[in-house]
Structure formats: structure tokens, C-alpha cells
């Protein structure tokens, strides 16, 4: 007899319908899985056999063939266990075939028939939205996560036995509720109030957060670069529901979702400089999102920027430009979102003391030149804001009163972002000043005569390149927004010019 079960596979962060066809016929006992299964999927056979037996059902000693359609897409992971087991129970006449077609079914089985949490549930269930189904059956641990992106009832189940009982009508399950735990302001324990002095750096970071600009901090060890970077998420606006869902999907397919539900905090990722290209950008045999995608809608912090291998830094170019990464595999090309704010930090010279007035720098000009050249021009071009972070002054560090709180800075950032949101409402994929294209610059960054004179003089005196010119205009636009000013004034430009390199 033949039974068909609807399940789903994650392709990138999207779900793809997969039909599991199970045919049981007389003949020598065999059990084959076809339809481009990976090794893990083939191992399903043993789990399904034990799980069925240990749940009180028979494993038919017949000729069993399982087909996963479409056969053109490679099937990865263990989530096919449950649909295969259900199909087998139906095809061998132990449960009725008809009710199965009403559900999307996914889950990994352990040998005793219990269901285990799967990766990518949130992505997989979104494939069947709008279909005429009674609901989705998946492991209880994935239920609240799946309910976020599903408009069908989601039933979390604990074991194969429970699933088969539901399909036979002897148990009526309760649907899970999506946990849209209010998207709240950052509940981080970190706060900018702890950063003493460094007003210039703090202001620059506020501008960066307000316009979504990438930042490079250059300063001697101990000046507080890492401390400042870690606090950037505390001044960013909360994620929108769409942003939260997209980011949660990435963590879901990566198997890194720590909470059962929607991620509400912007991610902060700080990979070590020894990170491999694959870990940074994504890929591997089963394509995994990399750090650039795990930082989606949050901050990617590259500390000791000059220590990163050249190849690792170069692969950042695509996500910095397109806000996605493309991973090519033999069978398919996958894309993952990778829209992040890049925050990089480095010392001013190999010994680190160059800009420290209290310490002596022992580096030769050639060493310094070589050190600075480690960061390639194309990457520097994509970083709008460059700041020197001086050593903390003793008078600042000994101050008792706390600095301005993250909450206060954040309010200004949120207001500036609201202005940008309104401005770019019709511009499609542009949300912040940093994302402006040349046509937007012409439209939204017009200067008065004083402003254009200032910029002209700066170009001449400082030898600003065309790239730097555009970056300065974008940053000036953000500064004007923070000031609540419709037009870009000369003093906005003057501040923006300071952040060039």
C-alpha cells in the first residue's frame, strides 16, 4: 500500500514542500530511501524501525521503499524521521491513510519513539502558509517557534505514539501559541553610562547607530574600544517584527536558537580573528549561516581588525554591499540575509602606543605603514565613520558621576531613525542614511552655499576621494537628522568631515 506524507525542508532560510511517499509491498524485507537523501536521512531507517517498535507498532517485514520528492533537492537533517515513520504506519495498514494528508509533519525520532527538537522549524513551516491543512505536527520543543511564522494551527507533540494517536483520532491536541514576547528595549546589563570620558568616540558611535553606518575605531590598547563596541546594541532601536522573524529564522536553521520563540534582542557577534572563512561567511557541507548572517540586523564586531586574515576580510565585501551572502553549492545556490552594522577596532600601530602621549611607540614608519595597509582599501571604503579613540584620561576615569545612559542616547537614535524611515518610505530597500544610493544623495543631501563651499575646501585641502565625498554626505545627513534639521547645515558637514580617514 502507498501512503503520502507532507513535510518540509529548509533551503537557506526558506521552507520547501517535500512529499514523503512510502510504499510497502510483499517481497524480500528491504528498506530503501531514495530522492537525494544525505547520510543522516539514510540513517533514518534505523531510528524509524526502533521508534515504531518501541511505540507499540509493528515494523513490517516487507519490501519498503521511501521516496522524497522533489528528487532534485538534496535532503539534509533528521526531520524526515517522523514523516517516514507515520507514512510507514499508514502504508502497512496500522493507521488510516486519509487523515495524514491534512497535516504537515516533521520531527526527529529517538530510538524510544520520543521526538527531538529540530533545526529550522520556523523556516520549514512557513512554506505551507495558505495551504488547506488542519495543522502542523512537530516536536513540542519547536512548537512555539514554529507558531511565529505559521498561520495554521501548530501542534507540539512529544512522541511518535502521540502523533499516531492524534492521527487515529484518539487524542485531540491543543495548538501552541506564538510567543511574541513583546519586542522590548535591550535588556542588556551593559550601559554606556559605564564608559567614562571618550565623549568624541561616544558621539561618533551615536551617529553611526542613528544612520546604520559602519565604524572603525583606532586607539591604543585599554582605551575602551571593546567596551564601547559591546554597548552599541544598547543604543540601537528595537527590531521590527519582520526583522526579528528574519533573524530568528537564521538562528533556527543554524540550530542556535536558545529561546523557544522569537528573538527580540539585536544580535552582537564578535568572532575571533582566527575565524575561518566558512564560519564567517557561511557554507560547509550542509550550508550553515556564518557570522555575517548571525549578526543580521545587529552588530558584527571585528576586534583586532588587522589580525584577521586577508581572505576573511575580503569575503565581507559582498554582504557589506548587498546585505546578503550567496553560498554556491554543487546542487544549488543559497542566499542568507546578512544585513549588519560592522564595528571594527584596531591599534594605531603594531605596538599600539603610537597615539598614546604617555607611552613610547617603538614602531618604524615602515612598520606602521605596513600595519595600516593590512586593512584593504575596498573594505575601508565601506566604513563611513573612522574614529581615533585616545587613552582614557585619568581625570575622566576617576570621575564618580556616571556618563549619559544608553537609554537616553537610544532615544535620540530612535528619533533620527524615524526621520529616515519617513524619508525612505517609498525607496524600497533603503532604511537608513548609510544605505543611500547616489540618486538618494542628489535628492536628500543638497547643501546650501556655505555647506558646498566647506565641502569643496575640504576636498581640496584633504584630498577627499569621490567615495569619501559620498560617505561624508551620508554621515552629514544622519547628523542633521539627529539635530532634527531638514537641511544639512555647514556645522553638520564639519562634524561629518571629522569622521573621514
Ligand X SMILES: Nc1ncnc2c1ncn2[C@@H]1O[C@H](COP(=O)(O)OP(=O)(O)O)[C@@H](O)[C@H]1O
Interactions with ligand X, residue window 384-423 (CB under 6 A): 392, 397
List the single partner that 222 binds among Mg ion, ligand X, none, CB under 5 to 8 Å by kind: ligand X
Q: Binds 289, which of Mg ion, ligand X, none (CB < 5 to 8 A, cut-off by type)?
A: none
* Interacting positions 69-98 with Mg ion (CB under 5 A): none
β-partners of residue 282 are 289
User: Which one of ligand X, Mg ion, none interacts with residue 227, CB within 5 to 8 A by kind?
Assistant: ligand X
Q: Contact letters (x/-) for ligand X, 190-229, by CB under 6 A?
A: -----xxxx--------------------x-xxxxxxx--
Residue number with CB closer to ligand X (76 or 303): 303
Q: Within 336-395, which residues bind ligand X (CB under 6 A)?
A: 392
Which residues between 157 and 196 bind ligand X (CB under 6 A)?
Answer: 195-196
3-state class (DSSP) for residue 25? strand
DSSP 23: E
Least Cβ distance, residue 345 to Mg ion (angstroms): 6
Query: 75: Cβ–Cβ under 8 A, 6 or more apart, which residues?
Result: 9, 18, 35, 36, 37, 38, 41, 68
Shortest gap between Cβ of 389 and ligand X (angstroms)?
7
Nearer of residues 226 and 335 to Mg ion, judged by Cβ:
226
How is residue 266 written as a grid cell?
Answer: 539585536
Size of site (CB under 6 A) for ligand X: 14
Name which of 305 and 336 has its Cβ closer to Mg ion.
Answer: 305
196 binding partner (options ligand X, Mg ion, none; Cβ < 5 to 8 Å by kind): ligand X
- Select the binding partner of residue 296 from Mg ion, ligand X, none (C-beta < 5 to 8 A, by kind): none
The CA angle 308-312-313, to the nearest 5 degrees, is 75
The entry of Mg ion, ligand X, none near residue 471 (CB within 5 to 8 angstroms by kind) is none
* Residues in Cβ contact with 238 at an 8 Å cutoff, skipping those fewer than 6 apart: 183, 184, 185, 186, 264, 266
Do 173 and 103 meet the contact criterion of CB atoms below 8 Å apart?
Answer: no
Site string for Mg ion, 225-244 (x = CB under 5 A): -x------------------
For residues 103 and 137, the answer to whether their CB atoms sit within 8 Å is yes
Residue 390: contacted member of ligand X, Mg ion, none (CB under 5 to 8 Å, by partner type): none
Is the sign of the CA dihedral 136, 140, 146, 151 positive or negative?
positive
Q: Closest CB to Mg ion among 188 and 226? A: 226
Sheet arrangement for strand 299-302: 268-269, 299-302, 341-346, 215-218, 385-388
**Cα distances (Å, whole numbers) of residue 109 to 76, 79, 121, 169:** 15, 8, 15, 21
Residues in contact with ligand X by CB under 6 A are 195-198, 219, 221-227, 392, 397
Contacts with Mg ion, residue ranges (CB under 5 A):
226
Amino acid at each position: 500500500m502507498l501512503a503520502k506524507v507532507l513535510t518540509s525542508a529548509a533551503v537557506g532560510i526558506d521552507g520547501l514542500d517535500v512529499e514523503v511517499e512510502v510504499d510497502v509491498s510483499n517481497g524480500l524485507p528491504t528498506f530503501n530511501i531514495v530522492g537525494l537523501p544525505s547520510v543522516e536521512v539514510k540513517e533514518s531507517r534505523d531510528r524509524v524501525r526502533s521508534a515504531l517498535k518501541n511505540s507499540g507498532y509493528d515494523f513490517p517485514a516487507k519490501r519498503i521503499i521511501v521516496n522524497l520528492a522533489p528528487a532534485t533537492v538534496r535532503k539534509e537533517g533528521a526531520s524526515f524521521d517522523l514523516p517516514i515513520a507515520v507514512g510507514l504506519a499508514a502504508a502497512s495498514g496500522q493507521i488510516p491513510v486519509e487523515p495524514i494528508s491534512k497535516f504537515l509533519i516533521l520531527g526527529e525520532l529517538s530510538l524510544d519513539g520520543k521526538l527531538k527538537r529540530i533545526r529550522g522549524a520556523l523556516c520549514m513551516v512557513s512554506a505551507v502558509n495558505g495551504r488547506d491543512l488542519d495543522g502542523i505536527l512537530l516536536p513540542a520543543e519547536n512548537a512555539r517557534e514554529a507558531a511565529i511564522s505559521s498561520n495554521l494551527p501548530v501542534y507540539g507533540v512529544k512522541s511518535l505514539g502521540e502523533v499516531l494517536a492524534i492521527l487515529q483520532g484518539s487524542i485531540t491536541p491543543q495548538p501552541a501559541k506564538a510567543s511574541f514576547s513583546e519586542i522590548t528595549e535591550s535588556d542588556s546589563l551593559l550601559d554606556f553610562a559605564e564608559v567614562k570620558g571618550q565623549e568624541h568616540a561616544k558621539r561618533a558611535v551615536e551617529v553611526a547607530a542613528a544612520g546604520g553606518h559602519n565604524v572603525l575605531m583606532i586607539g591604543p590598547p585599554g582605551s575602551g574600544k571593546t567596551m564601547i563596541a559591546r554597548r552599541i546594541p544598547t543604543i540601537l532601536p528595537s527590531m521590527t517584527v519582520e526583522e526579528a522573524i528574519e533573524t530568528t529564522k537564521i538562528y533556527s536553521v543554524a540550530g542556535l536558537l536558545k529561546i523557544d520563540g522569537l528573538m527580540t534582542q539585536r544580535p552582537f557577534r564578535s568572532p575571533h580573528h582566527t575565524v575561518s572563512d566558512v564560519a564567517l561567511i557561511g557554507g560547509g557541507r550542509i550550508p550553515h549561516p556564518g557570522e555575517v548572517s548571525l549578526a543580521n540586523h545587529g552588530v558584527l564586531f571585528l576586534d583586532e581588525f588587522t589580525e584577521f586574515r586577508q581572505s576573511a576580510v575580503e569575503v565581507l565585501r559582498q554582504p557589506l554591499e548587498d546585505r546578503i551572502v550567496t553560498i554556491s553549492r554543487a546542487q544549488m545556490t543559497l542566499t542568507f540575509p546578512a544585513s549588519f552594522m560592522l564595528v571594527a577596532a584596531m591599534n594605531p600601530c603594531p605596538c599600539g602606543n603610537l597615539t598614546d602621549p604617555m607611552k613610547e611607540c617603538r614602531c618604524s614608519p615602515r612598520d606602521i605603514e605596513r600595519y595600516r595597509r593590512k586593512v584593504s582599501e575596498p573594505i575601508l571604503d565601506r566604513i563611513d565613520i573612522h574614529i581615533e579613540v585616545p587613552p582614557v584620561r585619568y581625570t575622566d576615569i576617576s570621575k564618580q558621576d556616571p556618563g549619559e545612559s544608553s537609554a537616553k542616547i537610544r532615544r535620540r537614535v530612535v528619533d533620527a531613525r524615524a526621520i529616515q524611515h519617513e524619508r525612505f518610505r517609498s525607496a524600497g530597500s533603503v532604511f537608513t542614511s548609510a544605505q543611500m544610493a547616489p540618486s538618494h544623495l542628489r535628492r536628500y543631501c543638497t547643501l546650501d552655499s556655505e555647506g558646498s563651499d566647506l565641502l569643496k575646501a575640504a576636498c581640496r585641502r584633504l584630498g577627499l576621494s569621490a567615495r569619501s565625498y559620498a560617505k561624508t554626505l551620508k554621515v552629514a545627513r544622519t547628523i542633521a537628522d539627529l539635530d532634527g534639521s531638514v537641511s544639512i547645515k555647514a556645522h553638520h558637514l564639519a562634524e561629518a568631515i571629522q569622521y573621514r580617514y
